[in-house]
Amino acid sequence: MDNSKDYIISLLKDKYDYEQKRKDDFESSLGTPITVLSALFAGSYFVVSDPSLNGINCSLVTIKWILVILLMSALIITLIFLFIVYFGFKRRYCSFPDSNTVYNGDFKSLEQYTKEHYPETYEEVLMDSLKDRAIQWYLDCNNNNTSVNDTRGNSLFRAKLSICISLGIGLALLILICFIKSM
């Protein structure tokens, strides 16, 4: 029985470490989308503020503004998804109880209970109870963190999809601007 709980704890610890790594990977992967967003915002500012693009054919100006509005909408949607990835679930992430709680709360109460109710097998029962507590901590953290990371992963996927849409709109706008400037 002792070895099986040790094995379960080892498996759950590996899962906990995996979810921690996923969390860190999500946070470190935000640099590129933010850089692309910055470039797209700068490009849109150039298109909106360029005076040479205003005195042209009315239908081309309308197309330009439609593309700019679509681009801004896609960029704002991307920002919302990136905000969710980074800030939306940061506080919902679960970690183990602090050392003081573990020692003064759980260990001391289990130790006292075990001494009173199982004096002849005190050490074995205490170790078994502590392993059960550790398993419960891992289960609680892993269930919560997997859910949080899955939601963050979905938001990051949607943000990347929205960036691709933004790049497509930006490319169409660039082609339109090149066409307008060549006239």
Task: Print the SS3 string covering 32-77.
Answer: HHHHHHHHHHHHHHHHHHCHHHCCCCHHHHHHHHHHHHHHHHHHHH
Q: Do residues 163 and 82 lie in contact, with contact meaning Cβ atoms separated by under 8 Å?
A: no
Residues 6+ positions from 155 with CB-CB distance below 8 Å: 81, 82, 84, 85, 88
Which two three-digit tokens encode residue 55?
A: 């005195």
Mean pLDDT of residues grouped by 10 in the chain (183 residues)?
81 92 87 89 85 71 88 93 81 74 76 79 81 88 91 92 93 87 77
* Res 1: pLDDT: 47
Residue range of the domain that includes 79: 2-182
Tell me, rounded to whole angstroms, the distance of Cα 172 from its chain centroid.
30
Residues 6+ positions from 90 with CB-CB distance below 8 Å: none
The model carries a pTM of: 0.76
Domain count, the chain: 1
Which two three-digit tokens encode residue 130?
A: 């502590």
Mean of the per-residue pLDDT values for the chain? 85
